[in-house]
Structure formats: structure tokens, C-alpha cells
Chain A
Amino acid sequence: MSLLRMEGIHHAYRQGGLLARRRLPVLEAAALRIEAGECVALLGPTGSGKSTLGRLMLGLEAPDAGTVLFEGRPLRDARGRVAPADRRAIQAVFQDPFGATSPRLSAFAVMAEPLLAARLPREALRARVAGLMRAVGLDPAVMDRLAHRMSGGQLQRLCIARALAPGPRLVLLDEAVNSLDLETQARILALLARLRRETGVAYLFVTHDLRLVRGFAGRCYVMQDRRPVEVAEPFGDGPLPPAMAALRDAILPARPAWRPG
């Protein structure tokens, strides 16, 4: 049984304002599976439906048609609700950590929120938050400062710690390192790989940058014609779906080309 299985997903968004009738199809007959503890990459350019697929995986939206199964059971019940245990089991880290945290909250408050359901006593809660912060390489001494006083890389670490707090089995990483600088990117990817080894969590790693996939993800999908297509060897010499070939061609050379003058 797969950890997550999506089948026959159709999804469209209304285009051109509230009263318009036109609907733009974003996903058509889309299917995707993620096994427990696996890191799966989902590639595609902007507007190809990657994030929509992620939102369906989180249960934030219901697909127009098709099924989303989490551990073999439908993610949403007949009334569209996600069971609280499943909500804790599927977490997300998004691109912009400043948009994903409240500017009014301290780092502690950001981290404590997903843990409140466990009704820990205050001291135990602080100890748990401190432990999670250490796990992502943050100094627990800054816990009581405003979260937004951290740098982008530090705050993204905090968002990763928050996503891991409820002990999830699947984390959506939606462009989670794309706005960080090169060194921070590399450090966060190493951190995510280590946490996966330690906790057995699975990732859906959504990105447009094929370079980040190497050595990080085990399997790889690319969005082609509104559905994910699995690509066995994205860096190999074999034929590639056109969308993957375009992403590979768009990678800039590592070194400057010879230019006259």
C-alpha cells in the first residue's frame, strides 16, 4: 500500500473573475504515488499545476474528479473534511517563510501552535520546542524573539521544524529552498535529507530547478500536459518528455562561456 496515491485527478479553476463561466483545466487524468519514507520530486515550470497537486495532497481543496488516498483511505470524507490525525500526518513547507509565519508571533509561538493539541504542560512544551529547534540547527536561546527578526534561511529552518513537530509521515516541500541563497539552499537540503533518514518521513519535493533534484530525490515526476509523468533518469541520455527537456535546457551553464572582448 502506498503512503499516498492520487488517481484520475481532474481539476480546473474559474478564469476571469467571480462571475465568469470559463474554467481553465489545470490537472487532467493526473496520477501520482508516494511510498512511505520516499523522496519524490515534482518538476515543472510556473503554472503547470505543481502547487495545485500539492494543495490536493494536503486536502486544502477537493479535486473536481478523482481520488486522493492516504494510507489506502480517502483523504477527505463525504463532507470534505480531513481527519485530524491525517491533518497532522501531512505537513507542508512553502517557498516564502515570511508569508508562512505571523509577524506578531515569537519563534516559540510559531513552533508551539501545532503542538497545542497535545496539551503539554508549559515546561514540557518549551523543552519539546527547544529540541525541535536544535534538530534543525537553530539555537533555542532565540525562541522568545519575534520570528520575523530571523534571516530567511533561519526562518525557513523554523518552518521545517514546525512541519516536523506533529511527527508527520509526509511533508510537501513546495519550492521550499528556491528563495534562499546557494549556501543556505545546500544546507537546508542536507538538513532535510538527514531528517528523512532519522524519522522515515516522506517528501514531495516540488521545484522548477532540476539541479536541486540530483542526489536528493529518489524518483522524479515532471508536469507534462496537465499530468505528472514519471521520468526514470532525468539526467540520462534517453528520451525525455518535452517538459523535462525544456527544464534541462533552461539550466544555465556552470561556467562562463568564452566571450570575445
Chain B
Amino acid sequence: MAGGLALEGLRLEAGGRVLVDGVSLALRRGEVLGLVGTSGGGKSLTALALLGLLPAGVRRAAGVLRLDGAVLDAAGQAALRGRRIGFVQQAPRGGFNPLVSIGRHFRETLACDGLRGGAATARAESLLREVGFAEPAALLGLYPSQLSGGMLQRAMLALALARDPGFLLVDEPTTDLDLIVQAQILGLLERLVARRGLGLLLVTHDLSVVARLAGRVAVMQAGRVVEEQPVHDFFDAPRHPHSQNLLATHFALYGEAAPA
């Protein structure tokens, strides 16, 4: 199990109800793992559990998190957040403080590593350039309300990468964006994975996003992983009935029948 982030036997409970049970996932550097399923299936909770960011009332009843083979306790897990694992959520506007400029968002994050002043500004600009902003200096003085959804999501990616994490969790990163902006963000994610050797966990309900980016696919239903396959095998020969249903709905969008 060396060389990656691994979750083993995760079980989450809330008020006596089991929300996620027996979930094991392994994410290697340089690889994209798509986590798909209907909403309410436990995809997002699993991602939050990886970060130790479970919502109030949800308890981790079982499960072990390993980084490069070493088991992490709660403190070790908290230390991962931002430093080793970056996180990007669905609606980018909710992730920014509307009263604080983009530049200050970066300064705050970069100060964690002792980067301040001119060095922090230079680093913020190089990160923003990496996510495709041609003139990052102008952006730093702007407020989140002055940016479009697609620009904010790119800025959010730059922030998530500010501390050079080896892994990135993205939860429905393009669901609120139009298809043209979605294509740009997915292209950007692909380049980041290749250039930085990131391990990317891609949580989504959209199988076309998985087809575009993922190397492996895990399907969740009712809190369990019901299938995990390389992406081509998944699209050609899904094994679980839930996966088959998802694919049938997906292919119907394209006006074609699912493969028998």
C-alpha cells in the first residue's frame, strides 16, 4: 500500500444511522480516481472524511487513513489538510469570503508556510498564472463578487495548490459552471495532474466528466462502494446493477442506448 493515500474500512454514523459503511479507496500520485453515484450515496461524506472535516453530528465509527503506508491519527490527519491534500468544492462562490480580496485569501494561506510580503505576492501570482490567468497581478486586488464562477473556480484551484499538496480532492468541481467553462476547468485539472504528479479524487455525478478525466472509477450507492474498475472497463462492461443504471441514463443523454 506504499506510495499513496488510502482509506480502509470507513464507517460513518449519524444518530445511530449508518451513512457510509466499509468504504476503502486508494489514491496514487499521478492518478485520477472518479467517485460517482446518485446524490445521497455518501460520495461527498467520504471525501470530507478523508480531510477530517465531517459535519457536526456525523461520527467516524471505523476506518483507517494511511499516507504512504503509515497510519494517521486525528492529529496527523488534521496536519494533512491543505498541506498534503488540497480540497475544492462545488460552488466556488461559497468558498471565498466576499469581504476579502483575492490577494488576501492567498496571503492568509501562504502565511501558514511563513511566506509574507513580496515573496507571498510573487508566489500567488505564479500560482494564478499556473491556472491560466494571463495577468494575475490585476486579480489580486479584486473581490470575489467581481469574478465569474469559472474564474473563481480557477482561483480556488490555485489556492488549493498553494502549499504544494500531493493530493487534490475535487467535489463536483464543474457542476455549477456552463459546459464551455467546464471544458476549460477539466483541461486545466488534467494538465495539473500531469505536471505536478497529483493524485486526484474526482467526486461527481456526471459520467461524462469521469470519461474525460478519470483513470479508475469507484461507484457508491447507499453508503457503500459497489464497484471499482479501470475507466474503460467500467464504460464497456459495468458489473453492478446500479452502475448499469447510471450508464443507461448517461448514454440516453447522448441519444444512444447503453451497451448490452
Contact = CB atoms under 8 A, between A and B. Distances in A.
B131 interface: no
A102 interface: no
Nearest to B252: A186
Given A47-B148, A182-B206, A182-B207, A212 B253 contact: yes
A208 B206 contact: no
A86 interface: no
A182 B253 contact: yes
Contact of B179 (A183, A251, A254): A251
Given A183-B245, A250-B180, A252-B183, A211 B39 contact: no
A107 B214 CA distance: 39
A246 B150 CA distance: 16
Contacts of B211: 252-257
B39 A246 contact: no
Interface residues of A, number: 36
Contacts of A253: 208, 211-212
B108 interface: no
Nearest to B90: A179
B109 interface: no
Contacts of B253: 182, 186, 211-212, 214, 254
Contacts of B209: 252
A137 interface: no
A181 B206 CA distance: 7
Contacts of B207: 182
A213 B250 CA distance: 14
A185 B250 CA distance: 10
Contact of B38 (A46, A183, A212, A255): A183
B186 to A, nearest CB: 8
B228 to A, nearest CB: 15
Contacts of B208: 251-254
B101 interface: no
Q: Which secondary structure dominates chain B's binding surface?
A: helix
B181 A183 contact: no
B135 interface: no
Interface string B187-219: 000000000000000000111111110110000
Contact of B249 (A152, A183, A214, A235): A183
A247 interface: yes
Which of A178, A215, A255 has the most B CB atoms < 10 Å from its CB? A255
Interface string B218-251: 0000000000000110010000000001100111
A225 interface: no
A178 B174 CA distance: 11
Contacts of A140: none
Contacts of B212: 252-253, 256
Given A214-B255, A250-B180, 19 more contacts: A45-B181, A46-B178, A151-B39, A151-B40, A153-B39, A180-B39, A182-B246, A183-B38, A186-B249, A209-B179, A212-B253, A250-B178, A252-B182, A252-B208, A253-B208, A253-B211, A255-B211, A256-B212, A256-B231
Interface of B: 38-40, 148-150, 175-183, 186, 205-212, 214-215, 231-232, 235, 245-246, 249-256
30 contacts: A45-B179, A45-B181, A46-B148, A46-B149, A46-B150, A152-B39, A153-B39, A181-B39, A182-B207, A182-B246, A182-B253, A184-B39, A185-B249, A186-B253, A208-B178, A214-B255, A246-B180, A247-B179, A250-B178, A250-B179, A251-B179, A252-B183, A253-B208, A254-B251, A255-B211, A255-B235, A256-B211, A256-B231, A256-B232, A256-B235
